[in-house]
């Protein structure tokens, strides 16, 4: 039976990226060594790193003055590194979910944090649209896509101060005007690669803004001075990121990916909106293209477990909603084929016909 991988992360990767990474583990480009055995100081890895950084810049049209880094520690370490490097007195944050809350918690160790708006009042089922960013803050931090709750910024917003964005779960899913951000970062394990590597796109002029001394490994200047090579980087994970970036380019780039994602999400949202049994949990203007959350209508709540088991018999994996939301979550990341979304829709229709 074909499996349909809707896991929220680590999640589905392009098949060609998985296959080529597997080949490289056995023998990298015919050099007689595994990708897992080569030195991170070798010319072979330097070529991998250079191509990955350059492809990232090309696909997102990253302007001059920005650099791409591949680091360790996940987005969670960035929650600490960002205020360590950039918060002098006050920072502004938008609270749109658990990951935003975790970032806010870390920032409070370093100075005043102004939460300019929050959607906690409705269990993060929307992205706040009306808020004022204080111009005396050192930076403004947002989470562009909320993996757990299924809400997402629909466009790049304007900001009067340096803006920093956690794009862990929607990077490369749509074109981004990088010039509107001073930094973009995220864990790779959704749209880019396997767990174990974190991407950072950073504007160089953002550095050297704080007076405090910063430990070497937590200082962005360290990693920019020796681009992603100050310490041993996650070689395998970076290689798989490169294969994914090559795949995106082969399809025609990020605009093509965006159109694919719109079609996939539209197919599932239409099924939810026209269902007698299922209902979405996110306001329409904030619906994510990456993580689609829905539940059973009140009169059918007792059938949620039955649908979960039925979906498994149809090859659906990873559709259980996060425990804080319940219901179901289908993560429709870049590499998920539209055939998998159609299979889920078909399963929903069949279950509804037999149980509604």
- The reply to whether 247 belongs to the active site is no
Which position among 2, 23, 89, 99 bears the catalytic label? Answer: 99
Which residues have CB under 8 Å from 83's CB, separation 6+? 91, 106, 107, 109, 110, 111
Could you tell me whether strands 163-166 and 140-143 are parallel, antiparallel, or unpaired per DSSP bridges? parallel
For the question of residue 190 being annotated catalytic, the response is yes
- Between strands 90-95 and 112-118, the pairing is parallel
Verify whether residue 50 is a known catalytic residue: no
Q: Which of 138, 170, 190, 203 is catalytic?
A: 190
Phi and psi (nearest 5°) for 145?
A: -135, 135
Residue 159, both tokens: 């900001």
Please tell me which residue in 138, 166, 247, 320 is annotated as part of the active site.
166
Q: Please, what is the angle between helix 254-273 and helix 338-355, to 10°?
A: 0
Picking from 109, 291, 98, 71, the residue whose alpha carbon sits closest to that of residue 193 is: 71
Both tokens assigned to 85: 């490097």
Q: Which residues pair with 165 in a beta bridge?
A: 142, 184
> What positions carry a catalytic annotation?
99, 166, 190
């Amino acid at each position: 039976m074909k499996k349909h991988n809707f896991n929220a992360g680590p999640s589905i990767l392009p098949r060609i990226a998985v296959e080529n990474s597997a080949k490289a583990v056995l023998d990298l480009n015919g050099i007689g060594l595994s990708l897992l055995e080569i030195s991170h100081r070798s010319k072979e890895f330097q070529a991998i790193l250079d191509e990955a950084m350059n492809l990232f810049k090309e696909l997102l049209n990253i302007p001059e003055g920005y650099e791409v880094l591949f680091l360790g520690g996940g987005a969670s370490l960035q929650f600490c590194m960002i205020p360590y490097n950039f918060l002098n007195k006050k920072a502004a944050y938008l609270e749109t979910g658990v990951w935003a809350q975790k970032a806010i918690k870390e920032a409070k160790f370093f100075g005043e944090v102004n939460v300019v708006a929050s959607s906690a009042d409705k269990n993060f089922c929307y992205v706040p649209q009306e808020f004022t960013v204080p111009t005396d803050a050192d930076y403004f931090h947002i989470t562009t896509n909320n993996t757990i709750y299924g809400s997402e910024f629909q466009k790049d917003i304007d900001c009067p101060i340096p803006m920093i964005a956690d794009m862990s779960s929607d990077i490369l899913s749509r074109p981004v005007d990088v010039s509107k951000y001073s930094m973009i970062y995220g864990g790779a394990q959704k749209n880019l690669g396997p767990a174990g590597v974190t991407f950072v796109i950073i504007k160089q002029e953002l550095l050297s803004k704080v007076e405090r001394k910063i430990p070497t490994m937590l200082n962005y200047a360290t990693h920019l001075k020796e681009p992603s090579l100050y310490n041993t980087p996650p070689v395998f994970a970076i290689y798989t990121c490169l294969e994914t970036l090559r795949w995106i380019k082969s399809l025609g780039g990020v605009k093509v990916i965006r159109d694919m994602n719109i079609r996939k999400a539209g197919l599932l949202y239409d099924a939810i909106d026209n269902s007698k049994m299922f209902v979405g949990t996110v306001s329409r203007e904030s619906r994510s293209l990456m993580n689609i959350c829905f539940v059973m209508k009140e009169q059918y709540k007792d059938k949620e477990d039955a649908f979960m088991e039925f979906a498994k018999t149809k090859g659906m994996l990873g559709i259980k909603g996060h425990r804080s939301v319940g219901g179901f979550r289908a993560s429709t990341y870049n590499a998920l084929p539209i055939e998998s979304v159609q299979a889920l829709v078909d399963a929903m229709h069949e279950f509804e016909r037999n149980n509604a």
